Amino acid sequence: MPQSYIKRILDARIYDVAVETPLDYARFLSKRLGNNIMLKREDLQPVFSFKIRGAYNKLRQLPEAEKARGVIAASAGNHAQGLALSAQALRVKATIVMPRTTPAIKVEAVKFRGARVILHGDTYDEASTHAQKLVKEKGLTYIHPYDDPDVIAGQGTVAMEILRQYNKPIDAIFVPVGGGGLCAGVAAYIKYVRPETKVFAVEPEDAACLKAALDKGRRVTLPQVGIFADGVAVAQIGKETFRVLKETVDGVITANTDEICAAIKDVFEDTRAINEPAGALALAGLKKYVEDSGCENQTLIAINSGANTNFDRLRYISERTEIGEKREAILAVTIPEKPGAYKSFLKDLGKHNITEFNYRYADDDKARIFVGIQVSPDQQDRLEMVERLKSKDYQVVDMTDNEMAKLHIRHMVGGHAPQVDNELVIRFEFPERPGALLNFLNQMAGRWNISMFHYRNHGSAYGRVLVGMQVSKKERGEFKQFLKELNYPFWDETDNEAYQFFLG
């Protein structure tokens, strides 16, 4: 039973390396959302993440013989740094296996703490498999990032601090979930001490392994996970964490990339701190809860779990924020190809500001524009604007929720290519490392003509590519087999209206 964690959490001795982080009142958010919003600032830990708590608690519980042999973990980020600092403090040799795609800033941070770093594979799973191999070969002790009672108990000290710091009624606490260690520890403690307080798990829409498990009544493995919020990009919830969470959480809330980006901005505006995507996930869930429930004057707490993000990702985060806040609409609009047409469009648009405008001449009759328009957070404003434009005989397609349009098309609006036939459009994600794009092209080249290509990297571990390829109908079966053998996540976007509207 989860009650068994209470003594473990109370006995956790973590403050040799961890700090008691503040519970900050978010004054701007509170005013805007009409509730008492507070942020638990785990981004202020020495390794900029709560992971130090569980790693240290686990390490100090190990028998001396196991400490002497050394410890090992597989991690692409926060657990690696937490374990490295813990091992340094306890004078234990630590080896961290990290995917080769891990950003250099994280690799150097782990080395700085004195741990040995081994770069292996492109994914966490490949790194984890290699770590388990070294466990058998070297007799090292594996320190799991979340699915371990001592790790869970260490993370549960976050809840103990919250209740000590705020002794008034708390309506709900929002906790980010990857493998579930933090949420299991927090939920076990909160539900024992303050059962009336709701605990909501928050996951990215494209990595919702806890939600999938609760829906099925058993742990399942997601066929694919999104990697934007890399700190919570886990395909299967932990065995022990699921045992605890299915008895303690009051629900699961999912947030998309745009909502997470908007939450990063919210944290910045209230604290001047920049969270990583996983770090702002709980706040994204809190905002969604307020919107869906219509609650007012409640005390709501979000755990800001970490701030280990690459500086070069900020451009992408900023770009997506306005959409996440529902302050920008992305529209594809057909206007007459004649002088004064754009001016007339702006008049018909009314008082809305233009945030982006992309256009290229296509033919003598009609022009198709890709336009970003500032709207109020009230979704009704966007819907009314679209209907108003349609009533004035504009052909309008709302692409605000079209992922391909936001990732690629907004940077590619350049007109149609009527001479290109049999074009298939595929969107890929592939592991990002030096030479990765060249390797990708080498695997694709020589069999079918590439008719369109757009590549973007946002400082993350994965590159994103949109490719047009000319494939005759009789070769479609062979092409499908090729995609399968390529072994990269892909989406067929040939029928996507953004492509059809601007490039098809």
pLDDT given at position 468 = 85
Longest dimension (CA), the chain: 81
Please tell me the CATH code under which domain 417-502 is placed.
3.30.70.260
**DSSP per-residue string spanning 99-160:** -TTS-HHHHHHHHHTT-EEEE-SSSHHHHHHHHHHHHHHH-PEE--SSSSHHHHHHHHHHHH
User: pLDDT grade, residue 361 (50/70/90)?
Assistant: low
Angle at 377 between CA 374 and CA 381, to 5 degrees: 70
Which of these, 66, 164, 104, lies nearest to 434 by C-alpha position? 104
- 3-state secondary structure at position 378: coil
pLDDT given at position 344 = 82
| β-bridge mates for residue 176, sequence order | 202
pLDDT given at position 205 = 93
**CA–CA separation, 293 vs 203, rounded Å?**
18
- Choice between 347 and 154, residue whose per-residue pLDDT is larger: 154
4-9+22-44+149-322 folds as Rossmann fold (3.40.50)
- 3-state secondary structure at position 203: strand
Q: Locate the domains of the chain by residue range.
A: 4-9+22-44+149-322, 51-142, 326-401, 417-502
pLDDT given at position 453 = 79
- Encoded amino acid at 498, one letter: A
Mean pLDDT of 433-458: 71
40 is catalytic: no
pLDDT given at position 373 = 85
Determine which one of 49, 86, 128, 305 is catalytic.
Answer: 305
Shared fold status for 4-9+22-44+149-322 and 51-142 = yes
* Residue 5: DSSP 8-state: H
Pairing assessment for the beta strands 328-336 and 395-398 based on DSSP bridges: antiparallel
User: Per mean pLDDT, which range of 56-70, 111-125, 380-394, 446-460 is the poorest?
Assistant: 446-460
What integer best gives the mean pLDDT of the chain? 88
What whole-number percentage of the chain has pLDDT above 90? 56
326-401 folds as Alpha-Beta Plaits (3.30.70)
Give the C-alpha distances (Å, rounded to integers) separating 67 from 75, 138, 308, 325.
19, 13, 28, 48
Mean pLDDT of 58-83: 92
Instruction: Examine the pLDDT at 305 and tell me if it is beyond 90.
Output: yes
Q: Edge-to-edge, what's the strand order for the sheet holding 354-359?
A: 354-359, 366-374, 328-336, 395-398
Contact between 258 and 268 under an 8 Å Cβ cutoff? The reply is no
- Tokens 């493998």, located at residue: 179
pLDDT tens digit string along 239-296?
999 999 999 999 999 999 989 999 999 999 999 999 999 999 999 999 999 999 999 9
pLDDT given at position 464 = 78
51 is catalytic: yes
**CA–CA separation, 490 vs 238, rounded Å?**
27
- 51-142 CATH, one of 3.40.50.1100, 3.40.50.1240, 3.30.70.20, 3.30.420.40: 3.40.50.1100
Q: Could you give the residue ranges of the DSSP H alpha helices within 272-378?
A: 281-293, 314-324, 341-349
Q: Could you give the residue ranges of the DSSP H alpha helices within 250-340?
A: 257-271, 281-293, 314-324
What is the length of the chain?
A: 504
Determine which one of 51, 191, 287, 288 is catalytic.
Answer: 51
Tokens of residue 88, six digits? 């340094």
**CA–CA separation, 37 vs 297, rounded Å?**
9
Instruction: Examine the pLDDT at 414 and tell me if it is beyond 70.
Output: no
Instruction: Examine the pLDDT at 104 and tell me if it is beyond 90.
Output: no
